[in-house]
């Protein structure tokens, strides 16, 4: 929608309209640079799974690791070429220029790159004079020779070569002449792309764009960009480089990478396709963005970030009351792209900041048409506001909101209760640390269901677990449907952090019947009372879902 | 370090060198727009705490909410002006232009803004013709009158007025003439700043910069920027607007906000200070960035994002390998800014070594010189590792760490206990919901202190409060120092969210003796057992601080 640029339009040959061509490279380095993220530790099987996901998504290049540097990466290259049926991507092996003073053809690190068998090789080269002297401990001239000879050798071996100029932007500031000389040397030796790396991630977009533009004009090399996110600008820096004339972008899935991370593949690709009108993925692939993002998060065992651009579960969630009324008229007024374009969906959240419109919309989402009944909607809005003032929240607790809505729809105002499955008389929980160190948790629940009075005691790992077991034990004979309901999540939040243990407590409980999951909320002076409420709502909602018949008297 | 710009240098008067002046506005809207983030639900107490943090950090403006729109925000404005001693920031009330066809002075929403008493008011105005017609359902001309008359009325009431032009960039693309007319109207009516809002967050930096530049040239209005993060470019879009001539930036702490979020205050401010060489915070404030970011995350009860730029625990974390040796030579080769500039620290992820080093460092900080005793440091590292595996965390719980350290220093290995003030025999907590609806919380504690066996029962608002009261009641006669100790914070976190109520629970307890505050940690199968541990450590630490003499037998 928002169009910017400075970037050349994509060639309009029929081929370019159907699929990305070599004119623009989407280069993924999740398996190499992304794996540097603190907490990520990939097995070979993980890497193969991610490679398949990235290939299906349609990136042009998958950098798989550093063969020779560790046995896992060596094994990955061997197996990827046997086991993965690449349909879009070319596999890339990463390594370094030859060492100082050692001919490329006998440097074991360089020969390992060739032996990996990948059709493309990326080699990292120093472009910052101080790094050459202090980290490589060689001369500026020898560094150029290392670049030249390594590129030439790999080209002789039939490899396509990309050169990553490490610390390029810092090097350019310190010694622009030398930094450009490294670019020229690599390009003249046969590198297809010279990649300017913001290794320390300190750049902001205006700086990136002007440097890329200058280097392009002065060297004529095809340029790429590799941005780290230390200023929070990696996506923007990548786009700024494209504005400046770069035609190769290096990214990682979900922005995984060392320190803060790398440029996130998904918003970069989405911006190129949707904001720059460039076709950089195969047709239809963009709509797979959310799925691929979440699948890769699963493989690396990180919860998908809920607030990630385009793919987060919150990315198209609306809360403001102002917004909700306009969204009813035209969703495009309040979203920058169609969520379906990236495989995501719009969601409405209910909160006290929202008004009538979001309650109506949420009602519709849940299957209640409230459009005609202004008084009813008004009552629901009032109750939500009252409840949120007490500490309830319905954004996450959809099931509690639906029960509230149902109470109002079925005519039960605040104070009088709608048909339910059971009616509480009392409960008691006892938690004990005994002299022998044993811990005992016991709960007794007294309730009425189907006209019977039930008194039952449960034991558990904690007081809430004991209450849950007592409630189940009491109801299961009358409602065998309960057997398939399970507690799957439990969250506690103390609402007034500054008032010690006598604060209000909010509990969110997640339940599942094996298929659907739902969340309920409870609030109280203490964690057990709050948990009871959330459990009560959770089981009530589960029984409603199962088709059980509620009664006036529980 | 990386310098860019296009931005005018800050005026070099002595005043501008010492403190930010009105020439550049850092405007925070965490309490209004940030609170729209899914999952955030702030109490008035939360809002007051956050306002104090932001003021201490030195932002120029704190937008506190929408007085009149909900009772919580109205209460916040009343209390903030009574209770918060603002040293840097001015409080801002947010609201809307008058409604169509209603004079500003009798529009209750506008008068609520005046009644809030804040010296500054931000009003939101529509700048997109389609939104005027479809969402406001009025004419383009009436919309201009609404802007003009509301600004004029608020100016007459002695308020400084900022105007947020909602959907400005989308509106500018659809109808640039009208969008600019809204800016001009607001400015001519007396608005100090007209803020261009990328409400749907669809912009990328090159587009923002060119629009800001054009609007500035054609209207002469002082411009601000409000960027949402839907493309992942909010920080960069904010900087691009500054490049284009904007001199007012609206941000939220940690980028909290609707959908993906807003421009994150911390990287925006850090970039302005460190990359643009602009002084936008009071001297010394930037070094508080990490602390303020984490403190606000605690208040909103979100775990501080580990990979946030500048302030994340991973932001300056280096994996060994290539980087390690170079970092020893010159850390600036591998970091874009000095971590201390933003109150963060570099971490080496070479776990064992870093573990020993940080234990030694931490010990020194607490007054224990462990430098000479490698075996002792090794034992402490081992115990910390074991405990962290069980769910303990010592990053926040300094007091529990000091007790652990003290145990080891005084020769008590795991299993045997160091001198303490009391020895537990058993405790029991009962929580009851009675048939009449009354709730009873009762705890009995049996313990030994100074050779006496003590059995005491306490009642409270919840089981932990009851335990706390019982423990105090039991010890106060023997240790009158306890009278001045108070519980000031209490946090619960469930560590394994996917395993229902039988998960591990971690409790952090904050205590104070009127002067110092300290935090302790407890972990257990349930919240009460975990709370007991944290209370035990908390009182033990407090008694140690007060100079009481521990005994071998409690």
Of B3, B6, B203, the CB nearest to A2: B203
* Over residues A425-441, mean pLDDT: 92
B-chain CB neighbours of A201 within 8 Å are: 336
Q: Cβ separation of A462 and B529 shorter than 8 Å? A: yes
Handedness of CA B362, B365, B371, B373 (dihedral sign): negative
CA distance B526 to B506: 9
- For B164, the token pair is 């947020």
- Cα separation, B546 vs B481, whole angstroms: 7
Residue A328: Cβ within 10 Å count? 16
**Residue of B243, B316, B497 with shortest CB distance to A259:** B316
Q: Which pLDDT score, from 0 to 100, does residue A275 have?
A: 96
A vs B, Cβ pairs < 8 A, gives 400
Q: Which long-range contacts (CB under 8 A, 24 or more apart) does A139-145 make?
A: A140/A178, A142/A100, A142/A101, A143/A97, A143/A100, A143/A182, A144/A181, A144/A182, A144/A185
Q: Which of these ranges, A40-54, A182-196, B35-49, B375-389, has the smallest mean pLDDT?
A: B375-389
CA distances from B114 to A441, B342, B473, B507 (A): 55, 37, 50, 43
**Distance to chain B for A494, nearest Cα, Å:** 6
- The residue with greater pLDDT, A312 or A526, is A312
Task: Please give the share of chain A, as a percent, with pLDDT higher than 70.
Answer: 89
Q: Report residue B76 as tokens.
A: 């916040």
Q: A166-175, B198-207, B232-241, B342-351 — which is least confidently predicted? A: B342-351
Choose the mutation target among B45, B205, B441 for the interface with A, i.e. most A CBs under 10 Å.
Answer: B205
Nearest-by-CA chain B residue for A509: B500
- A-contacting residues in B 448-467 (Cβ below 8 Å): 460-465
- Over A21-88, what HEC string results? CCCCEEEECCCCCHHHCCCCCCCHHHHHHHHHHHHHHCCCEEEEECECCEHHHHHHHHHHHHHCCCCC
pLDDT the model gives residue A257: 95
Q: How much is the average pLDDT of B436-459?
A: 92
Mean pLDDT of B102-125: 96
B236 touches chain A (CB under 8 A): yes
Mean pLDDT on B196-201: 97
**Which residues 57-86 of B have a C-beta within 8 angstroms of A?**
69-72
- Find the domain containing A354 and state its range: 317-409
Q: Can you give the pLDDT at residue B59?
A: 97
Question: A55 and A176, same structural domain?
Answer: yes
A495 pLDDT band (50/70/90 cuts)? low
State whether A38 and A160 are in the same domain: yes
Residue A495 contacts B, CB cutoff 8 Å = yes
Residue A18 counted as domain residue: no
Q: Is residue B458 helix, strand or coil?
A: strand
What is the model's pLDDT at position B550? 79
The string of DSSP codes covering A476-525 is: TTT-GGGGG-EEEEEEEEES-GGGGGGS-EEEEEEEE-SS-EEEEEEEES
Tokens linked to B402:
């000091």
User: pLDDT at residue B130 above 90?
Assistant: yes
Q: Which residue has the higher pLDDT, B44 or A418?
A: B44
The residue with greater pLDDT, B299 or B315, is B315
Contacts of A528 in chain B (CB under 8 A): 431, 462-463
C-alpha pair distances (Å), B141 with each of A186, B127, B128, B216: 61, 12, 13, 22
- The pLDDT value recorded for residue A17 is 34
Decide if B399 is inside a domain.
no
pTM above 0.80, yes or no: no
To the nearest whole number, what is the mean pLDDT of chain A? 87
What token pair was written down for B450? 């100074």
Residue B89's pLDDT band, with cuts at 50, 70 and 90, is very high
* A165-179, A324-338, B386-400: range with highest mean pLDDT: A165-179
Residues contacting B354, CB < 8 A, separation 6+: B347, B348
Indicate the number of domains in chain B: 3
- Residue A498 scores a pLDDT above 80: no
Tell me: pLDDT of B172 over 80.
yes
Q: What is the CATH number of the domain that holds A231?
A: 3.20.20.70
Structure confidence at residue A20 (pLDDT): 55
pLDDT surpassing 90 at residue A380: no
Return the higher-pLDDT residue of A386 and B395.
Answer: A386
For residue B144, is pLDDT > 60?
yes
CA dihedral A363, A364, A365, A366 (to 10 degrees): 60
Q: Answer whether residue A112 is part of any domain.
A: yes
Question: Which residues contact residue A474 at a Cβ distance below 8 angstroms, ignoring those fewer than 6 apart?
Answer: A422, A445, A447, A449, A454, A455, A456
Q: What is the pLDDT of residues B473-483, one digit of tens each?
A: 999 989 998 88
At A322 the pLDDT is 54
Cα dihedral A508/A512/A516/A522 (nearest 10): -20
Q: Is A536 on the interface with B (CB under 8 A)?
A: no
**Angle between helix A140-156 and A108-115 (nearest 10):** 30
Lowest-pLDDT range of B183-197, B246-260, B459-473: B459-473
Angle value at C-alpha A402, between A397 and A403, nearest 5 degrees: 100
Residue B395: count other Cβ atoms within 10 Å of its Cβ. 11
Residue B474: the pLDDT is: 92
What is the ipTM metric for this complex? 0.72
Kindly identify which residue of chain B lies nearest to residue A207, measuring between CA atoms.
B4
Spatial CB neighbours of A147, under 8 Å, sequence gap ≥ 6: A97, A123, A125, A163, A182, A185, A186, A189
Residue B11: its pLDDT value, please? 34
A327 touches chain B (CB under 8 A): no
Tell me: do B261 and B320 sit in the same domain: no
Can you give the CATH number for the domain in which B437 is found? 3.30.160
For residue A529, the distance in angstroms to the closest alpha carbon of chain B comes to: 8
**What is the per-residue pLDDT for A19?**
42
The model's pLDDT over B497-552, given as tens digits with 9 standing for 90+, comes to 433 445 678 888 888 888 777 889 999 888 899 999 999 999 999 999 888 887 76
Query: Per the domain annotation, does A228 fall within a domain?
Result: yes
Of B539, B550, B509, B518, give the one whose Cα is nearest residue B399. Answer: B518
Q: Is B303 on the interface with A (CB under 8 A)?
A: no
B176 lies in the same domain as B323: no
Taking CB atoms and an 8 Å cutoff, what residues of chain B touch A491? 494, 497
Q: What is the mean pLDDT of residues B42-65?
A: 94
Asked whether residue A415 is domain-assigned, the answer is no
d(CA A61, CA A195) in angstroms, rounded, equals: 14
- What is residue A415's three-state secondary structure? coil
CB contact under 8 A, A3 and B207: yes
A309 vs B230, B310, B322: nearest CB: B230
Q: Which residues of A touch B128 (CB under 8 A)?
A: 333
Chain A residue numbers touching B322 (CB-CB < 8 A): 135
State the Rg of chain A over Cα. 30
Does the structure show a pLDDT above 50 at A232?
yes
Mean of per-residue pLDDT scores for chain B:
86
Q: What is the pLDDT of residues A181-198, one digit of tens each?
A: 999 999 999 999 999 999
Residue A2 and residue B491: Cβ atoms within 8 Å?
no
Q: How far is CA A210 from the centre of its chain?
A: 31
What is the Cα–Cα distance from B505 to A505, expressed in whole angstroms?
A: 15
Q: What is the pLDDT at residue A36?
A: 87
Classify residue A274: in a domain, yes or no.
yes
Residue of A nearest to B429 (CA): A431
* pLDDT tens per residue across span B270-289: 999 999 999 999 999 999 99
Please give the average per-residue pLDDT across A263-273, as a whole number: 98
Residue of B nearest to A171 (CA): B333
What percentage of chain A has pLDDT greater than the value 90?
Answer: 58
Q: Which residue of B489, B501, B507, B519 to mutate against A (max A Cβ within 10 Å)?
A: B501
Residue A197: predicted pLDDT: 98
Residue A547 has pLDDT above 90, yes or no: no
**Which residue, A268, A300, A332, sits at the end of a domain?**
A300
Contact B336 A205 (CB under 8 A): no
Chain B contacts in chain A segment 254-273 (CB below 8 A): 258-261, 264, 267, 270-271
A329 contacts chain B (CB < 8 A):
yes
* B interface test, pick of A453, A501, A503 with most B CB neighbours within 10 Å: A501
A204-225 pLDDT, tens digit each: 999 999 999 999 999 999 999 9
Interface contact A503, partner B, CB < 8 A: yes
A239 vs B258: CB contact, 8 Å cut-off? no
Q: Do B198 and B329 have their domain in common? A: no
Give B336's contacts in chain A (Cβ within 8 Å): 200-202, 230-231
More confident residue, A186 or A134: A186
Give yes or no: residues A53 and A166 share one domain: yes
Cβ–Cβ < 8 Å for A129, A177? no
CA of A459: which chain B residue's CA is closest? Answer: B502
Q: The domain that contains A485 carries what CATH number?
A: 3.30.160.270
Cβ contact (<8 Å) for B502 and A205? no
- Tokens encoding A420: 């339910």
Domain check: are B183 and B221 in the same one? yes
* Contact criterion met (CB below 8 Å) for B110 and B153: yes
Q: Are both A32 and A114 inside the same structural domain? A: yes
Interhelix angle B108-115/B140-156, rounded to 10 degrees, is: 30
Q: Which pLDDT belongs to residue A3?
A: 35
Of A6, A260, A493, the CB nearest to B206: A6
Domain check: are A175 and A273 in the same one?
Answer: yes
pLDDT band at B298; cut points 50, 70, 90 = confident
Q: Which residues of chain A from 353 to 372 reach within 8 Å of chain B, CB to CB?
A: 353
Is the model's pLDDT at A306 over the cut of 90?
no
pLDDT in tens, B366-408: 777 777 788 888 888 888 877 876 778 776 677 888 898 888 8
Check whether residue B266 and residue B329 sit in a common domain: no
Residue B194 pLDDT exceeds 90: yes
Q: Does B526 touch chain A (CB under 8 A)?
A: yes
Nearest residue of chain B to residue A310 (CA atoms): B230
| Contact between chains at A502 and B317 (C-beta distance less than 8 A) | no
Residue where one domain finishes, among candidates A375, A409, A443: A409
Whether residue A13 is contained in a domain is answered as no
Q: In which band, very low, low, confident or very high, does the pLDDT at B553 lie, cut at 50, 70 and 90?
A: low
pLDDT of residue A292 exceeding 50, the answer is yes
Residues A227 and A358 both lie in one domain: no
Asked, for residue A184, whether it belongs to a domain, the answer is yes
Residues B237 and B320 in one domain: no
């Amino acid at each position: 929608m928002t169009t910017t640029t400075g970037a050349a339009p994509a060639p309009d040959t029929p081929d370019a309209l159907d699929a990305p061509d070599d004119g623009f490279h989407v280069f993924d380095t999740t398996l190499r640079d992304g794996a540097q993220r603190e907490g990520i530790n990939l097995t070979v099987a993980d890497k193969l799974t991610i490679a398949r996901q990235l290939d299906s998504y349609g990136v042009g290049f998958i950098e798989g690791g550093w063969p020779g540097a560790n046995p896992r990466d060596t094994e990955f290259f061997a197996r990827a070429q046997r086991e993965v049926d690449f349909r879009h991507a070319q596999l890339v092996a990463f390594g370094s220029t030859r060492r100082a003073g050692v001919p490329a053809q006998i440097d074991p690190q360089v020969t390992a790159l060739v032996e990996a068998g990948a059709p493309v090789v990326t080699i990292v080269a120093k472009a910052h004079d101080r790094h050459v002297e202090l980290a490589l401990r060689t001369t500026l001239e020898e560094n150029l020779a290392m670049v030249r000879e390594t590129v030439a050798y790999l080209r002789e071996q039939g490899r396509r070569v990309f050169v990553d100029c490490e610390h390029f932007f810092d090097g350019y500031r310190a010694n622009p002449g030398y930094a450009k000389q490294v670019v020229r040397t690599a390009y003249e030796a046969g590198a297809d792309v010279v990649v300017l790396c913001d290794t320390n991630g300190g750049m902001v977009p205006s700086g990136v764009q002007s440097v890329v533009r200058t280097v392009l004009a002065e060297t004529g090399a095809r340029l790429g960009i590799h941005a780290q996110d230390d200023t929070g600008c990696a996506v923007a820096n990548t786009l700024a480089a494209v504005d400046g004339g770069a035609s190769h972008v290096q990214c990682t899935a979900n922005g995984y990478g060392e320190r803060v991370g790398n440029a996130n593949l998904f918003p970069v690709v989405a911006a190129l396709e949707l904001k720059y009108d460039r076709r950089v993925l195969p047709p239809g692939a963009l709509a797979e963005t959310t799925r691929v993002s979440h699948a890769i998060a699963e493989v690396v065992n990180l919860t998908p970030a809920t607030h990630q651009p385009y793919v987060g579960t919150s990315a198209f969630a609306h809360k403001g009351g102002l917004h909700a009324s306009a969204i009813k008229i035209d969703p495009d007024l309040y979203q920058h792209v169609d969520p379906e374009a990236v495989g995501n969906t719009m969601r409405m959240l209910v909160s006290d900041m929202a008004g009538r419109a979001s309650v109506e919309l949420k009602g519709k989402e849940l299957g209640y048409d409230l459009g005609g009944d202004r008084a009813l909607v008004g009552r629901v809005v009032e109750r939500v506001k009252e409840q949120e003032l007490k500490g309830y929240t319905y954004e996450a607790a959809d099931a509690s909101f639906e029960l509230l809505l149902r109470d109002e729809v079925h005519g039960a105002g605040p104070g009088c209760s709608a048909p339910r499955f059971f009616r509480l008389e009392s409960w008691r929980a006892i938690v004990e640390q005994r002299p022998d160190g044993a811990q005992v948790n016991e709960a007794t629940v007294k309730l009425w269901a189907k006209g019977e009075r039930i008194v039952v005691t449960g034991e558990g790992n904690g007081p809430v677990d004991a209450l849950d077991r007592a409630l189940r034990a009491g109801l299961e004979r009358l409602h065998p449907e309960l057997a398939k309901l399970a507690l799957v999540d439990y969250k506690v939040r103390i609402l007034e952090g500054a008032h010690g243990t006598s604060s209000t407590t909010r509990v969110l409980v997640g339940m599942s019947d094996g298929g659907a999951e739902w969340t309920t909320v409870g609030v109280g002076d203490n964690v057990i009372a709050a948990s009871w409420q959330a459990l009560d709502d959770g089981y009530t909602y589960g029984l409603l879902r199962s088709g059980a018949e509620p009664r006036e008297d529980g």
